[in-house]
Amino acid sequence: MVETHTKAYAAKLDTADELKAFRNEFHLKNECVYMDGNSLGLMSKRAEQTVYDLMASWKEHAIDGWTDGNQPWYYLSESLGEKMSGLVGAKKEEVIVTGSTTVNLHQLVSTFYEPEGKRTKILADSLNFPSDIYALKTQLKLQGYDDSHLIQVDSEDGHMLDEEAIINAMTEDIALIVLPSVLYRSGQILDMEKLTRAAHERGIKIGFDLCHSIGAIPHQLHDWEVDFAFWCTYKHLNGGPGSVAALYVNEKHFGTAPGLAGWFSSNKEQQFDMEHTLTPAEHAGAFQIGTPHVLSAAPLIGALELFHEAGIEKIRSKSLQLTAYMIELIEHELKDFGFVICNPVNEKQRGGHIYLEHPEAARICKALKMKQVIPDFRKPSGIRLAPVALYNSFEDVYECVQRLKQIMEDKVYEQFSNEREVVS
């Protein structure tokens, strides 16, 4: 057996891992190999503690918690935005923690989609997460347009997008572009800088959904001059189920009135003047709508500390090592079982998870869970495995592949139906 295909080699990699101490920061189940951090990150002990801390501030300060205590609630969205800004390469004023992913997309499209003359269409892609497409179609309908005004760039292989095809679709009738930074199935990273430059050369505003990239890869949104972006915080950021989302607006758009104005769109100093004419905040805070969900934002206070200590560049480096090691093991151990690796070969294009296709994918995922490996299934035949740099080890990767091999050798999956579960 080649040394790299042994458990001893995985242990050797773990010994040399600069980030190995962060594994102790998370609640891990014994014998369970968690490979679903690209859907829901694990709870960190610090995130758990900051929920208790925010609860205590409510208990101690009651209404005065808005302005008193270690984390005044009135400014929590801004302070968390500042802490998150380094992960997306933005100025602190350009990021605000607020709302949910789709609500934020509605806000940004209602702000920046300005159909005029022959520029009436929105450009997206055929591989994006459904929620984004639902929102874009809704925004078109609100403006009096039908689905024909949503242009979706197709994929030639069903897994990846050709950036040149996207650029070629940036025609004179496109008013706005919304794309994913990382494709949720194949993990392909789109060249956001290149696409933004091409859009701006054609006078088109462009934004990105960062749900599958934030916390896994570095970004430079400000330097790339991306117009806007939005993302959830419960995947790689480990903010917990339903944790508050976030958005970015480039400073060149400060002063643009929010498409969906609300109570917390206000300038903080004037908000309680109770005027019926909005004076928007002079930064990304203008794109908030309602009152911050303080208790749902609380885990992020602790979760983000770990990213500042580890550093996104080191996180990305280990993530690439983990996924490269997993690909190597899959190619060696599972070559006879019909799996197809659908990730980009070039690591510069590969996000933080591995995407496998197999005709029996749904039942294989059920068998993996029985063997205490937690993957996720994507219809019709996809298995996603996400070794996360902050809490997964190289031994986790080794163990995951070995258990999958045993499932295939023993045909354990045959005892399950090949249909997805209600939540997959």
pLDDT tens string 24-53? 999 999 999 999 999 999 999 999 999 999
Q: What angle do CA 129, 134, 135 make, to 5 degrees?
A: 100
Strand partners of residue 384 = 355, 376
**291 among the known binding-site residues?**
yes
- Directed axis angle between helix 294-310 and helix 45-61, to 10°? 140
**Domains of the chain, earliest start first:** 3-30+312-415 (3.90.1150.10), 49-309 (3.40.640.10)
- Distance from C-alpha of 288 to C-alpha of 271, rounded to nearest angstrom: 13
Q: So what's the pLDDT on residue 423? A: 76
Query: Other C-beta atoms within 10 Å of 291: how many?
Result: 14
**416 among the known binding-site residues?**
no
**213 among the known binding-site residues?**
no
**396 among the known binding-site residues?**
no
**132 among the known binding-site residues?**
yes
Query: Is the Cβ–Cβ distance between 208 and 192 less than 8 Å?
Result: yes
Tell me the pLDDT band of 422, cut-offs 50, 70 and 90: confident
Condensed to tens digits (0 to 9), the pLDDT of residues 297-351 reads 999 999 999 999 999 999 999 999 999 999 999 999 999 999 999 999 899 999 9
Condensed to tens digits (0 to 9), the pLDDT of residues 115-162 reads 999 999 999 999 999 999 999 999 999 999 999 999 999 999 999 999
**212 among the known binding-site residues?**
yes
**58 among the known binding-site residues?**
no
**424 among the known binding-site residues?**
no
pTM of the model: 0.96
Q: So what's the pLDDT on residue 420? A: 84
Question: Does position 1 have pLDDT exceeding 70, yes or no?
Answer: no
Condensed to tens digits (0 to 9), the pLDDT of residues 174-191 reads 999 999 999 999 999 999
Q: Which two tokens stand for residue 170?
A: 């940036």
Q: Using a pLDDT cut of 90, give the percent of the chain over it.
A: 97
**224 among the known binding-site residues?**
no
**272 among the known binding-site residues?**
no
**209 among the known binding-site residues?**
yes
Q: So what's the pLDDT on residue 249? A: 98
